[in-house]
Amino acid sequence: MEKTTDRLKFQIILRILFWCMALVIILTIAIAWWQYPESYEFLQETVSALGGELSDTGLANNTSSMIMMIGFGVSGVIALTISIIYFVKFRLRYNIIKAILSLTIAVGVASIAIPRDHPQLSKFHYIGAAVFLLSFGILNFVCQALRYIRKHRPQPNRRKLDYWVDIVFVFLVFLSCILFLAIYLLEHFSIDTSFLTVALTQKITLIIYLIAISLLNINDM
């Protein structure tokens, strides 16, 4: 009974931490957008533009850049905390894979705090952004797939709304992760992808991830 109570306590803590990380990311992007010194082209510019030392047209971007550094730095600390909990709490389901993915998220999201146009470290920003989105996507997919199995595999004949929501998000998270990786690689090798750009797929992917995270409950931790 005591071990069950202890596990439940950490499941609640993890659920709060996941929510906090998502909320910090949303607020960071929103406030940085508000403080950006020029009009931010949502569909054409990546989120990284908000964290540059200079804006797209060369204006000083000190405030927005600082907000991105602080916000994503805090998100990195939260992801690292999640990883540590999973590493030490062996009674949590699939704790090791979740711990490793959370640690990868922490590294990626902390790298995003580096300005995209930093003279020496800009490459770490872009690598970190890709690592963050991919590891966040894989962790989300694992959690969504496990949620579907836990809730619906024992009762396969039930087809209520929550069943369709869960199965849709399993596929949405998986497909968005693959789409982002494909567009990222194609654009990196200068292959034309028409209207599908990294800037657009990055935002689609991030929105799907954040919605998916909000669907998880303490039993999914």
User: How far apart (Å, rounded) are the C-alpha atoms in residues 10 and 218?
Assistant: 9
CB 122 within 8 A of CB 108: no
Question: What tens-digit pLDDT sequence spans the chain (221 residues)?
Answer: 445 677 788 888 999 999 999 899 999 999 999 999 888 888 788 888 888 888 888 888 889 999 998 998 899 999 999 999 999 887 787 888 899 999 999 998 888 888 887 777 778 888 888 888 888 888 888 888 888 888 777 665 566 777 778 888 888 888 888 888 888 888 777 777 777 787 888 888 888 888 888 888 888 78
Question: Domain extents for the chain?
Answer: 2-220
C-beta pairs of 164-171 under 8 Å, 24+ apart in sequence: 165/215, 166/215, 169/144, 169/208, 169/211, 169/212, 169/215, 170/141, 170/144, 170/145
Q: CA 221 to CA 12: how far, in whole Å?
A: 8
The answer to whether the CB of 21 falls within 8 A of the CB of 82 is: yes
Instruction: Yes or no: say if 61 and 36 are a contact pair by the CB < 8 Å rule.
Output: yes
pLDDT score at 100: 92
For residues 131 and 107, is the Cβ–Cβ distance under 8 A?
A: yes
Question: Residue 49 half-sphere exposure, CB side, CA atoms within 13 Å?
Answer: 23
